[in-house]
Structure 1
Amino acid sequence: MAVTQGRRRLIAAGVACALMGGLAACGGQSSEAGKDGVVTITVNGMPPKTQPVDRKYFEEDVKAFEKSHPKIRIDAREGQMDPQTFSAKLAGGQLEDVYYVYFTDPAGLIQRGQGADITPYVKSMAYYDDVKPEFLKVFTGPDGKIYGLPNGQYSLGLVYNRDLFKKAGLDPDKPPATWEEVRQAAKKISALGDGTVGYADYSKNNQGGWHFTSWVYSMGGDIAVRKDGRWKAAFDSEAGRNTLRMLHDMRWTDDTMGSRQLLQIDDVQKMMGAGKLGMYMAGPDNIPTIVKQFERKYEEYGVAAMPGGRATLGGGNGFMFNPKASPEKIKAGIEWVQWKYLNPDRTALEDKRASGNGVPIGLPLDRLFTGQAQAEQDAAHAMYSNVPQGNYKPFVEGNARLEQKVEPPNAQQIYTVLDGVMQAVLTKKDADPDKLLSEAAKKVDGILATVK
């Protein structure tokens, strides 16, 4: 359920790029280099032709990188990591030297020996120490070694209509910080009448299970835990029951979620775009969609951190390296990933380029760094910002205090099961939370039994 790389690049205007120039030279020449000392690496993640602006930027960056790194050539390919074909590509020698993964992929790839150990090459990278530890942890094996680098990140929060907050007598600069505050705010917003809904949530096409997961995380629980080498369902818990009780009470006791249920993301965005919804769980990337599709203004919307103050569902993407690649190719690949994605020094350049194409600059996306590196990136975004950054302050400040938890293994299969839990509690007033959770846990245990 991650934001696509293409959309992220357009919206965030790039989390760019550069590595210390000496990295590629530290291994000298090898048989992988041509007679002129040039190393060619294959990389995926190139946007398809159906995304012409993204692809144009990508091709421009390849040319700029090769000009500044004359001993490296990029053989760029479309596509990302496909679990269905990955092993066959690796075995057949068709896997790219540098390949794109989601945060849910690395643990299994590392366990199966399908990613190269890059630990010897990353410690001296510029800004390596500034990358948030929780994102590097995604690419860290049980042996403590590093097997990849992040390049994009998202986390869920609370998107809300600032105008409806004002009409309901709520302070739009102080959005709800707990689920009880969400419940009380939803009551006031629903009281405005005329079909206005206080809070809405998804419950189908795996999106309900996705949101249930974030609810449980926010309550301090887990969806799955690994114990004694095996994964087991963990949501038949107090956190799971608190989630269902809150949803039930908002839906049936307070009547603040509206009578129409079995919603998915486009339904809820339409409600928000029509000015008839106060709040829903989402990431900041939802706001440009609402603004563009429904001809709204950025000033109308704010984003708060996930209520509860404990954790939020986060995800993202990054790059790993072919375990069959030579050290020279791995070093060159790290050069490329760092230059293209992980240096705040290029943020201003990319923001300027993107701002000429009507791209929103200044949304709180892809915050991969800490300290001075993030401060430099924030300053660059502020220089070219064309959205009201103050509206996202509650998200930025609150999110920094939350644990970012990734999706469980076999997430999509699990979400199918959890959709049923969300649907039941939102469509049946007499739904039994204990029974729902117990039956769902048994099904999820079966799904997790296949995880190695």
Structure 2
Amino acid sequence: MVGTARRHVLGLAVAAPLSLVLAGCGGSPAPSGVGKDGVVTISVNGMPAKTQPADRKDFEELVKEFEASHPKIRIDAREGQMDPKTFAAKLAGGQLEDVFYVYFTDPAGLIQRRQAADITPYLKDVPYLQDVRPELQDVFKDADGRIYGLPTGNYSLGLVYNRALFTKAGLDPDRPPATWDEVRTAAGRISALGDGTVGYADYSKNNQGGWHLTSWIYSMGGEVATRGDDGRWKAAFNSAAGHKALQALHDMRWTDNSMGTRQLLEIGDVQKMMGSGKLGMYMAGPDNIPTIVKQFEREYEEFGLAALPGTATLGGGDGFMFNPKASPEKIKAGLQWVQWKYLNPDREEKNAKKWAGQGIPIGLPQPNLFRGEAQAKNDAIHAKYANVPQRNFKPFVDRSPQVAVKIEPPNAQQLYTVLDGVMQSVLTKKDANLDQLLATAEKKADAILATVR
């Protein structure tokens, strides 16, 4: 995934470094990570860099709090995230952390290559694990149901929209579009306001066009890649759903002229358009709203959030996996750290109160990691400390259960490069041949997917 999901939001700490010296007098820990005093030392990443002083300080304080309540565990915290380009070398060289941060696009490949530890035997006593949403936990499972990690953050794409422009165009800001036909109609009415106003905008470069086109295709009931009975992956976007998605984009761009003449956009361009008050709608996750408010000095009340039209949307997230060379003692300690810091409804009120006081947005509809009573408890806490207008997100919250969330395809970034070209052609060439674009891209995508193992 690109762009919008790499962020810091409620319940989701961003990656980062720092080393905390082993406190104790037991000497160097054994290979198992257990010192003579019985203290287990685990290395973890996910600590903010020095360039993020407030986030880093918060992380350091949480480490101290955790160690105080878990006197037999010490955290050796480090900066950085899982980098696919250096991962294998770090693992082979013994430099990989015991507990490491991953995006949802990473686990399948790591599990297949046996580059992550099977943590199934150690999960029995992990608190609240049964309350984690099953579709998020499934990201970290193999075909036999064995578990190799825990999710700690999630997002799904919806529609961010300007409530004032909706009202000005005679649209009800409390009833945003629920179908793509309604999106097209609303975009046309907003564009008709003139003065450079654009009804709908979308990305088309730096892999972000392919990322969004994937969500378009999901919403139309299609797939971008599917796995056959032989275990091999094939491109699946050259389909009725793929054609329908491109036709919708083409028609809004060229027939309605509701997407404006400026194209080859990426996330920063579209956020700037929304921040200027000249854009009606665009596809994005909830975290985009705080970014726009902060960067362009807007107010939360100006924006609404709707679920993506159609049957499904693209979603993603992040979590933590475990070094395949880690000892059982380290894995058990690492699970305690991840659960305590990232999957802990018991600490939610304390966190929400603190973050609200720091001006961090409380009350956004994601991440929502839990189900049942655990999530209901979190929702009540967020409502109590909310500093954003939750009513503006009600269209997203109310319809989201009807919209399936699908994660990104394998070799996602390479596929997005291919699909970028498709988006660019549709949005810059009025006579683009949609079927030919899909067929050509399919051949390139199949070559990429043939490398998936």
User: Do both share a fold (TM > 0.5)?
Assistant: yes
Partner of 2:50: 49
CA contact (8 A) 2:203 2:266 kept: yes
Partner of 1:161: 162
CA contact (8 A) 1:42 1:96 kept: yes
CA gap 1:390/1:156 in 2 versus in 1, 3 angstroms: same
- Alpha-carbon distance between aligned partners in 1 of 2:57 and 2:353, rounded to the nearest angstrom: 15
Partner of 2:307: 305
What is the Cα deviation at residue 31 of structure 1? 5.4
Partner of 1:241: 243
- 2:97 counterpart of 1:101: no
CA contact (8 A) 1:14 1:350 kept: no
Number of residue equivalences? 437
SS of residue in 2 equivalent to 1:152: strand
1:275-316 CA-to-partner distances (Å, cap 9, x unmatched) read: 1111000011111111112111100000001111x1111011
Alignment of 1:292-441 (within 5 A): 292-308=294-310, 310-441=311-442
CA contact (8 A) 1:30 1:328 kept: no
SS of residue in 2 equivalent to 1:317: strand
What is the Cα deviation at residue 355 of structure 1? 2.0
Partner of 1:252: 254
For structure 1, which segment, 330-339 or 120-129, has the greater mean C-alpha deviation from structure 2 after superposition?
Answer: 120-129
- Decide which of 285, 289, 292 is 2:291's aligned counterpart: 289
CA gap 1:281/1:4 in 2 versus in 1, 3 angstroms: closer
- Alpha-carbon distance between aligned partners in 2 of 1:202 and 1:174, rounded to the nearest angstrom: 25
Partner of 2:124: 123
Partner of 1:271: 273
Alignment of 1:105-184 (within 5 A): 105-184=106-185
- Alpha-carbon distance between aligned partners in 2 of 1:340 and 1:352, rounded to the nearest angstrom: 16
* TM-score normalised by the chain length of structure 1: 0.94
CA contact (8 A) 2:2 2:211 kept: no
Partner of 1:24: none
CA gap 1:83/1:312 in 2 versus in 1, 3 angstroms: same
Partner of 1:7: 7
CA contact (8 A) 1:156 1:306 kept: yes
1:98-155 CA-to-partner distances (Å, cap 9, x unmatched) read: 1111101111111111111111221332211110010000000112111100001111
- Alpha-carbon distance between aligned partners in 1 of 2:100 and 2:11, rounded to the nearest angstrom: 22
SS of residue in 2 equivalent to 1:7: coil
Q: Which amino acid in structure 1 is aligned with residue 282 of structure 2?
A: Y
Q: Which amino acid in structure 1 is aligned with residue 319 of structure 2?
A: G
- Alpha-carbon distance between aligned partners in 2 of 1:91 and 1:129, rounded to the nearest angstrom: 34
SS of residue in 2 equivalent to 1:398: helix
Gaps of 5+ in 1: 17-28
For structure 1, which segment, 85-94 or 127-136, has the greater mean C-alpha deviation from structure 2 after superposition?
Answer: 85-94
- Alpha-carbon distance between aligned partners in 1 of 2:271 and 2:144, rounded to the nearest angstrom: 43
Partner of 1:204: 205
CA gap 1:212/1:70 in 2 versus in 1, 3 angstroms: same
1:212-262 CA-to-partner distances (Å, cap 9, x unmatched) read: 011001111111111112111110000100001101111111111111111
Partner of 1:232: 234
* TM-score normalised by the chain length of structure 2: 0.93
Q: Which amino acid in structure 1 is aligned with residue 322 of structure 2?
A: F
SS of residue in 2 equivalent to 1:176: coil
What is the Cα deviation at residue 6 of structure 1? 7.7
Alignment of 1:23-102 (within 5 A): 32-102=33-103
CA contact (8 A) 2:198 2:258 kept: yes
Partner of 1:20: none
Q: Which amino acid in structure 2 is aligned with residue 7 of structure 1?
A: R
- Alpha-carbon distance between aligned partners in 1 of 2:372 and 2:415, rounded to the nearest angstrom: 36
- Alpha-carbon distance between aligned partners in 2 of 1:5 and 1:48, rounded to the nearest angstrom: 18
Q: Which amino acid in structure 2 is aligned with residue 103 of structure 1?
A: F
- Comparing both chains, which one has the higher relative contact order based on Cα–Cα distances under 8 Å and sequence gaps of 6 or more? 1
- Alpha-carbon distance between aligned partners in 2 of 1:294 and 1:86, rounded to the nearest angstrom: 37
- Alpha-carbon distance between aligned partners in 2 of 1:294 and 1:218, rounded to the nearest angstrom: 30
Q: Which amino acid in structure 1 is aligned with residue 205 of structure 2?
A: K
What is the Cα deviation at residue 30 of structure 1? 10
What is the Cα deviation at residue 350 of structure 1? 1.3
- Alpha-carbon distance between aligned partners in 1 of 2:73 and 2:405, rounded to the nearest angstrom: 35
What is the Cα deviation at residue 414 of structure 1? 1.1
What is the Cα deviation at residue 13 of structure 1? 5.4
Alignment of 1:182-201 (within 5 A): 182-201=183-202
SS of residue in 2 equivalent to 1:451: coil
CA contact (8 A) 2:32 2:327 kept: no
Q: Which amino acid in structure 1 is aligned with residue 412 of structure 2?
A: A
CA contact (8 A) 1:345 1:377 kept: no
Q: Which amino acid in structure 2 is aligned with residue 150 of structure 1?
A: P
What is the Cα deviation at residue 168 of structure 1? 1.1
Q: Which amino acid in structure 1 is aligned with residue 449 of structure 2?
A: L
CA contact (8 A) 2:12 2:153 kept: no
| Runs of 4+ displaced beyond 4 Å | 2-6, 13-16
Partner of 2:263: 261
CA contact (8 A) 1:14 1:347 kept: no
Gaps of 5+ in 2: 15-29
- Alpha-carbon distance between aligned partners in 1 of 2:221 and 2:12, rounded to the nearest angstrom: 32
Q: Which amino acid in structure 2 is aligned with residue 277 of structure 1?
A: L
1:73-115 CA-to-partner distances (Å, cap 9, x unmatched) read: 0001111111111112112221111111110111111111111
CA contact (8 A) 1:13 1:361 kept: no
- Alpha-carbon distance between aligned partners in 2 of 1:226 and 1:46, rounded to the nearest angstrom: 36
1:13-66 CA-to-partner distances (Å, cap 9, x unmatched) read: 5589xxxxxxxxxxxx99542121111111111111111111111101100000
- Alpha-carbon distance between aligned partners in 1 of 2:336 and 2:274, rounded to the nearest angstrom: 42
What is the Cα deviation at residue 3 of structure 1? 6.2
